[in-house]
């Protein structure tokens, strides 16, 4: 890899710092002044803004840099990691978004608790925090790769810079500030990946030249990824959207249930171009740099741009970090505060907001020690989605099949999905079976067994309870 001289780095730095200062200043002006604004923006966000924030994780650093990294070795089919959101988001909007919105809950654990009780609230919260923590580990690594490419600093130092900037940004502004500034972030994300794709194709001598010289699998619909993995990614995206805390949190910020549903359709459509562009960049990077580390497949092209373009693209990557980390961290913070602070401490509004901001800082810096242990951005990102798939299935059962299974069945299903998917992931997905399938099958199997095996017992208990109530009423 080449490197920038001092003068181009200075120009890039001015652009990036200017972008950071402007967007941070805007988030401060729009910052949350109450806990309700911090968490759900007082349910007053326009539908377009909600749609932009919904897709933040799915076009964030792990997605864009991770898709390019995967495409580098497995083909443009890696774009499915983002493109499959065109199925997942609208499905969420049709099936679950209006139901959760009308429930008045703004945490996925709270929504499940309305159907399955407080014990399931806590295990759902633990699973969700674990999954979102992994997302931020990936986000910090992707951001660090871009920063280290431009400034020639180590990955750990770049990850620290990423954590300091992004955590300061979101812990002050909350959802109200993050949501509106996310529109600017989305524009810069699109701009950065689009410009990178144009520069990459120019360096490669055009798309046809790349196609002519690269192995054919790089341009097939499934590449070296395979149908099974693409289906698993689609399931993972559906599951993660159905059960991701920041999705529920952001959707809850819409003005009404109808707008929440419409925002989901916008988010799905807007994800498609980003997936295709990121996949294309990864393939071209393989053509030009066949022997480099795949993590640099997207940021490597910054070095071939003039300083102004390089600054805009780097700002776009910074935007991806801000948008993704901010919404994910807000999701974790809301779970920590709502499920592990509010029920056990008597806090007034001002103290609750102060505790929320402290929790936000802790959540922001917690992923740092684990950044260098990440085996691959997409692998970790989709493992986190697998974990959320278990939660999604329980949530759908609770809202759409209210008489299916019991609180105990839901608890065992969630716990089994957590343990099974984690064990399968760290075992390296034996027999080529993706951990997403394990996370999906276990809760379904457990809850189905619970439903049929104990159906007669529950019916008898309900009949006895009804008879006792009737007898008591007759006695009165």
Kindly provide the residue ranges of all beta strands, DSSP E only, lying in 15-158, ordered along the sequence. none
Residue 288 lies in a domain: yes
Q: Would 45 be classed as within a structural domain?
A: yes
Number of structural domains, the chain? 1
Q: Is residue 407 part of a domain?
A: no
Question: How does DSSP classify residue 254?
Answer: B
pLDDT on residue 179: 67
Evaluate whether residue 271 is within a structural domain.
yes
> Could you read off the pLDDT of 267-317 as tens digits, one per residue?
999 999 999 999 999 999 999 999 998 988 988 898 888 888 888 887 777
Mean pLDDT, all residues of the chain: 82
Give the domain extent around 321: 6-391
The reply to whether 126 falls in a domain is yes
Residue 151 in domain: yes
- Model confidence over 389-420: pLDDT tens digits? 898 888 888 878 777 788 899 999 999 999 99
Could you tell me if residue 208 is inside a domain? yes
Contact in structure between 61 and 145 (CB atoms under 8 Å): no
Across 34-48, 160-174, 269-283, 318-332, least confident range: 34-48
Whole-number pLDDT of residue 41? 43
Mean pLDDT of 443-463: 79
What's the rounded mean pLDDT across residues 209-213?
A: 95
CATH number at residue 314: 1.20.1730.10
Q: Is residue 380 part of a domain?
A: yes
Task: Give the tokens for residue 257.
Answer: 């249930």
pTM of the model: 0.71
pLDDT category at 57 given cuts 50, 70, 90 is low
């Amino acid at each position: 890899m080449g490197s920038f001289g001092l003068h181009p780095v200075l120009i890039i730095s001015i652009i990036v710092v200017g972008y950071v200062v402007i967007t941070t200043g805007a988030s401060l002006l729009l910052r949350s002044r109450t806990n309700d604004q911090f968490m759900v923006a007082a349910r007053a966000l326009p539908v377009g803004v909600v749609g932009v924030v919904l897709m933040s994780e799915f076009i964030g650093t792990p997605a864009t840099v991770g898709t390019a990294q995967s495409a580098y070795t497995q083909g443009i089919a890696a774009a499915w990691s983002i493109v499959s959101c065109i199925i997942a988001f609208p499905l969420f909007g049709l099936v679950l978004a209006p139901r959760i919105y009308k429930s008045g809950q703004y945490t996925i654990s709270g929504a499940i608790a309305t159907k399955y009780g407080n014990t399931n609230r806590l295990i759902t919260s633990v699973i969700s925090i674990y999954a979102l923590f992994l997302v931020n580990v990936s986000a910090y690594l992707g951001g660090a790769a871009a920063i280290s490419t431009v400034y020639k600093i180590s990955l750990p130092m770049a990850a620290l810079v990423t954590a300091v900037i992004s955590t300061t940004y979101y812990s002050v502004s909350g959802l109200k500030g993050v949501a509106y500034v996310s529109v600017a972030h989305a524009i810069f994300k699109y701009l950065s990946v689009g410009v990178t794709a144009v520069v990459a194709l120019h360096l490669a001598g055009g798309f046809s030249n790349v196609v002519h010289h690269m192995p054919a699998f790089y341009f097939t619909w499934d590449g070296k990824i395979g149908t099974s993995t693409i289906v698993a990614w689609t399931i993972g995206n559906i599951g993660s959207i159905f059960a991701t805390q920041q999705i529920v949190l952001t959707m809850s910020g819409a003005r009404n249930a109808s707008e929440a549903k419409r925002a989901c359709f916008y988010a799905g459509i807007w994800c498609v171009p980003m997936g295709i562009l990121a996949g294309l960049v990864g393939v071209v990077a393989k053509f030009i740099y066949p022997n480099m580390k795949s993590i640099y497949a997207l940021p490597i092209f910054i070095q071939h741009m003039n300083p102004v373009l390089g600054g805009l693209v780097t700002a776009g990557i910074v935007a991806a970090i801000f948008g993704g980390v901010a919404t994910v961290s807000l999701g974790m913070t809301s779970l920590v505060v709502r499920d592990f602070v509010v029920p056990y401490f008597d806090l007034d509004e001002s103290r609750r907001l102060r505790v929320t901001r402290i929790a936000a800082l802790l959540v922001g810096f917690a992923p740092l020690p684990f950044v260098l242990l990440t085996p691959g951005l997409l692998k970790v990102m989709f493992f986190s989605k697998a974990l959320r798939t278990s939660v999604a299935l329980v949530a759908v059962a609770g809202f759409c099949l209210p008489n299916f299974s019991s609180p105990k069945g839901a608890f065992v299903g969630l716990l089994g999905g957590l343990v099974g998917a984690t064990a399968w992931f760290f075992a390296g997905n034996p027999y080529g079976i993706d951990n997403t399938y394990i996370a999906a099958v276990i809760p379904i199997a457990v809850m189905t067994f619970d439903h049929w095996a104990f159906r007669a017992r529950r019916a008898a208990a309900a009949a006895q309870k009804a008879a006792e109530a009737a007898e008591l009423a007759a006695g009165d």
